[in-house]
Amino acid sequence: MTGQGTSFHTKFTFRSKWTSGKTRRIRRNCALCLLLLPSLAWGQQKPDAALEHVLDQLDNAAANFRSAQADFVWDQYQKVVDETDTQKGTVYYRRTAKDTEMAADITDPDKKYVLMTEGKIQVYQPRIDQVAVYNSGKNRETVESFMVLGFGGGGHDMLKSFDVSYLGKETLNGVETEKLDLVPKAQNIRNSISHIVLWIDPARGVSVQQGVFQPSGDYRLAKYSDIRINQKIAESVFKLKTTGKTKFIAPQGQ
């Protein structure tokens, strides 16, 4: 009996020690989990928090936006022929009582003017003295939302037309930018544009680079420099410099 009692006492003591040790480990692990939960939750929320921060910065910039002017390089890549066409010039934006207007003065390789105002896009080619007129019609709101991306457009306004994701930071020409990926919500838009990437300068709330990607593999990369915000722009910039013989056409399907 004494031997059995001793054995029982030994087993009980060993199990008690093992159980209490296991319990302490479980408690330590639980405590560690509780300590880690806030950081894990922050890690999950961080992209959303970063996205909200960028959208807020764009909203603040949009609230004070009156005009913008920037030099640009537009690279248009065509996958079928594996070629890139490059255009250079200056782009202008201004906010009016009705909407936001855009004008582009393309200087290279061929002289060309682009004007978008009141839901109408006009492309003037002085070399052939011809203006192609495109009416956005019922798609006017969508067209304008594309036009003001990164230049006068509100951050949270983008959420009406796009699913927006935060892609992190990237330094371009010494500027630390915040990258956003925009996927059009409308299927008819996604048929021609799969997604858009914006490189936002958070200090100014403008886009310094934009990439528009098509399902075909074609894309346009627009790079902006010498960006000037809310400086006076001459009225003549937003008028086409046509001649008395200029021919106006509406491309097929318009």
Q: What is the pLDDT of residues 85-141, one digit of tens each?
A: 999 999 999 998 878 899 999 999 999 999 998 888 999 999 999 999 988 766 667
The amino acid at residue 244 is: G
Give the whole-number percent of the chain exceeding pLDDT 70: 78
Average pLDDT score over residue span 154-182 = 94
Average pLDDT score over residue span 215-237 = 95
- Give whole-number Cα distances, 106 to 46, 71, 74, 123, 124, in Å: 41, 10, 10, 10, 10
**pLDDT tier at 21 (50, 70, 90 boundaries)?**
low
- With beta carbons less than 8 A apart as the criterion, state whether 200 and 207 touch: yes
Contacts of 10 (CB under 8 A, 6+ apart): none
**pLDDT tier at 19 (50, 70, 90 boundaries)?**
very low
Supply the mean pLDDT for the chain.
83
DSSP 138: G
**Does the pLDDT at position 75 exceed 80?**
yes
pLDDT at 94: 94
- Give whole-number Cα distances, 97 to 94, 152, 229, in Å: 10, 14, 18
Please compute, for residue 217, the number of CA atoms within 13 A of its CA located in the half-sphere on the CB side. Answer: 7
- Give whole-number Cα distances, 98 to 58, 95, 117, 139, 158, in Å: 20, 8, 10, 16, 19
In a 3-state reduction of DSSP, which class is residue 234?
Answer: coil
**Does the pLDDT at position 43 exceed 90?**
no
H or E, element range at 189: helix 187-190
**Does the pLDDT at position 254 exceed 70?**
no
pLDDT at 80: 95
**Does the pLDDT at position 206 exceed 60?**
yes
pLDDT at 90: 97
Domain boundaries, the chain: 62-249
Q: What is the CATH number of domain 62-249?
A: 2.50.20.10
Average pLDDT score over residue span 222-241 = 95
As separate numbers, helices (DSSP H) first and strands (DSSP E) second, the chain gives 3, 12
pLDDT at 252: 65
